Amino acid sequence: MIEKTLAIIKPDAVKKNVIGKIISRIEDEGFKITAMRLAKLTKDEAKGFYIVHKDKSFYIPLTDYMSSGPVMLMRLERENAIGHWRKVMGATDPAKAEPGTIRRLYGFSIESNATHGSDAPETAEWELNYFFKG
Ligand code: IDP
Ligand code: MG
C-alpha cells in the first residue's frame, strides 16, 4: 500500500550543506517527493508541531532549535513510507543509530539529529496537514 509520510531536514543538516545528499538518499530508497518547501519555522510553529512533547524536559530547547534556521519540509510517498523512512533515518540518538543511517551519518546529537519522520499513519496525516494542508 502506498503511504505518505512527512520528512523534515532539520536546521543542523541544512547548516551542514547536506540537503542534496539526504534528498539523493531519499530518491535512491524509492520514495517520490510529492511536495517540498524550504521554511524558517517560527517558535510558535515549532511548538505547535511538537505539541505531543509539550510536557517533556526537552520541549523548549527542541522548539528553539527547530526554529533556529531553515528546514526542508517534504511529503514522501512509497510503499510502507512511514516505517521505511524511519528505518533509513535510524534511531533518535545518532550515537545509537545503525551505521549508514541518515542520523548516524549526519546527526550531531540526540536533539540535533538531522531529520524528522512521522511515526504512524495518524501522525503522518496530522503532520502533513500541518505543513501542506493535505
Ligand atoms: P523521533 O524524532 O525519533 O520520533 P521523538 O521521541 O519523537 O523522536 O522526539 C522528537 C525529537 O525531539 C527528536 O527527533 C529530537 O530532535 C528531540 N529529542 C528526543 N529526545 C530528546 C532528548 O532526550 N533530549 C533532547 N532532544 C530530544
Ligand atoms: Mg517522533
CA of 112 to the centre of ligand 1 (A): 9
Domain annotation for the chain: domains and CATH numbers: 2-131 (3.30.70.141)
Catalytically active residues are 116
Tell me what pLDDT residue 134 has: 54
Cell 502533513 sits on residue: 128
Q: Considering the entire predicted model, what is its pTM?
A: 0.98
Tell me what pLDDT residue 67 has: 98
Q: What is the pLDDT of residues 13-63, one digit of tens each?
A: 999 999 999 999 999 999 999 999 999 999 999 999 999 999 999 999 999
Tally the C-alpha atoms within 13 A of residue 40's C-alpha that lie toward its C-beta: 4
Q: Comparing C-alpha atoms, which of 74, 75, 86 is closest to residue 119?
A: 86
CB 115 within 8 A of CB 16: no
Which residue's alpha carbon is at the smallest distance from atom 26 of ligand 1?
Answer: 111
* The three cell numbers locating residue 105: 551519518
